[in-house]
Structures are given as C-alpha cells and as structure tokens.
Amino acid sequence: MRKTVPVLIGLTSIRGREGALRRTLDTLLQQIPPDASRPVSLHLFLSQEPYLLDQGFAAIPGFIQRRIERSRRTAIPLHCHMVENSGSYRKLLPMISLLSTEQRRQDPYLITADDDTLYPRTWLTRLLEAQERLGCVVGFRGRRMVVEDGRIAPYHRWIKHDPSLTSPHPLTVPTGKDGICYRLSQLHAGVCDLKAALRLAGHADDLWFKHHTLRLGVPSALLNPSLSLEFPELSADGRRVRPARRSVPLKSLFLTINKSGGNDAVMERLVDPEFYPLAAAAFEEEMPAAPQEPTQRIDMA
C-alpha cells in the first residue's frame, strides 16, 4: 500500500438525524490513522433543498462547525459540503467530483459510511488492510446474489450468512451501513451519471455502486461472514438502538422504500439490456469473464 495514496471518507445526513450524526462523526474523527504520512479526510455532504424525508439544512449546524474547527489539529480533518440533494448518493458521488487531478492519478481509497452507526476505532484500518490484501471492493456486511436458471433470485433470498462471504466474489453486494471501501479504479465511469442512477436504481445506492464495480469485473468481499454481525446502530436522536426496543424509528430510506420489493425492481432494470447494457455473463454463478463493453474507468488523469 503506497503511503501517500489519499483516503477519503464520505457520508451524508438529513435534517432530523442530528443526534445520530453527532455521535457518528465523533467515532469517525477518533479513528486510528493508518499511517502518519497518509492523508485521510472526512467529508460530510448536506443539502439546503428538501428531498424525500430530508427537509434540508438552512446552514451548517453549529455542532458540525465546532467539529470542523477541532479536527484541523488532528490526523483526520472534517470538511462539510453543501451539495445538490440526491439523497444517499451524496456519500460517494460528490466525493469523486472533489478529487484533484493529482489525487485521481494516485487511485485514492473512497470509503462510505452511514450517519447512524457507532464505528470502532479500528474500522478504517481494517477496511484499508482488507482492500490491500484482497485487491477488491470490501465492506463489513452485505449479501450475495443468488442466480437460478439465469435469473437473479428475489432480494430476500440472497445469501446473508456464509463463511465464503469473506472471499472475493462477483455476486457479493456490500451494504452501506457498516462501511464500504472502493478504489477509484474499481468504479466504472457511469457511476457518476446521477440522472441514470435515479431513473434506474432509485434510492438503492448500494446496488448502483455495485453495478458499476461489476461492469469492470471487480469482485467484492465482506469482513463479516454474517449479516447479523453489525456495529451498534443509533436512533435519529442519537440513542443506541436495542434490537427489541425500537422506540424512536429511524428515518431510513431503506426501511421505508427498499424493503417492499424495491430492490428486486432495481435489479430487474439494471440487468435488462433494454434499460442498461450490463453483460449477461456477469450473472453466471461462476466467476464471470470481463464485460464485453469498452472499459470506462473514471478518468484518472
């Protein structure tokens, strides 16, 4: 792992979740730095305009401004950006657009986090170590797609608990809550097409991101072999969620939209050549050959 390759961590939030965001930011700012010479930065993307459940922020809240100021003297500075409100896509796509020409040449690590999770201090170093060791997209939790008779099985039947999830596989789909680590070179250039993302994937950003690593033939691996292994979750007001006591429901787009079959509809669109030309070979049960379309990595120059 080249010590000078930059690491950018991105997350987003909505108004009404400030309690959770405050605690999540603190755990991210307290991460053990991977190396004193490696630049690491934390980027929070907020929006002024309302969108879906988000009423928007009129200005950057004071608790964020205070953390920005304090972080200037630490190994992981915090930056807050006001951007167009594209929902959960803000955790990754605006971060790519921030990259300088020099950063793009270095093939940076791009890590996504959620705003309602307490991350352990080793979270960052574990993701980076796994990326270097496995050479693929890595996340802590996720599922593996199941293919039957050449078709993707419904989302609820995907594999959630299996030791093999920790090995690279093209059909493994990391999910965002506990963190995902990409290299810029592992993302197809089409990932930045926000209009196509909203039209085809809706609010299933994890599936959109997965689609654009698979288009380059990049597999994924999970650090945990079971979906049941997860970091502590926070309610919207910042209290730790107990599995049997969800007294303050999370304002989660996944809970409100994707659990009622939304992910299945997204997958139908993403693999239908009429909508989007994903190579059919990518959904064979064996390791797929590289897609037969021209390689279009994000511009690294």
The CB density around residue 255, as the number of other CB atoms within 10 Å, is 12
Sole residue written with tokens 């789909």: 173
Q: Which has the closest alpha carbon to 7: 53, 28, 38, 31?
A: 38
Each of the 301 residues of the chain gets a pLDDT tens digit; together they read 556 899 999 999 999 999 999 999 999 999 999 987 789 999 999 999 998 888 999 999 999 999 999 999 999 999 999 999 999 999 999 999 999 999 999 999 999 999 999 999 999 999 999 999 999 999 999 999 998 887 888 889 999 999 999 999 999 999 989 999 999 999 999 999 999 999 988 889 999 999 999 999 999 999 999 999 999 999 999 999 987 654 444 444 444 444 446 777 777 777 665 544 444 444 554 444 444 455 677 777 6
> How is the chain split into domains, by residue range?
7-241+249-282
| 3-state SS class at 148 | strand
Spatial CA neighbour of 122 closest among 73, 79, 178, 71: 178
Let me know: does 15 contact 56? Beta carbons within 8 Å: yes
pLDDT of residue 196: 92
Q: What are phi and psi of 54, to 5 degrees?
A: -90, 125
Instruction: Tally the C-alpha atoms within 13 A of residue 108's C-alpha that lie toward its C-beta.
Output: 25
25 Cβ contact partners less than 8 Å away, ≥ 6 residues apart: 42, 44, 64, 67, 78
Predicted local confidence at residue 293, as pLDDT: 52
CATH class for the domain made up of 7-241+249-282: alpha beta
pLDDT of residue 36: 77
With CA atoms as reference, report the closest residue to 130 among 168, 75, 76.
168
pLDDT value at residue 295: 61
Sequence-ordered alpha helix ranges (H) in the chain = 18-29, 62-71, 93-98, 101-105, 123-134, 194-200, 205-214, 253-256, 262-271
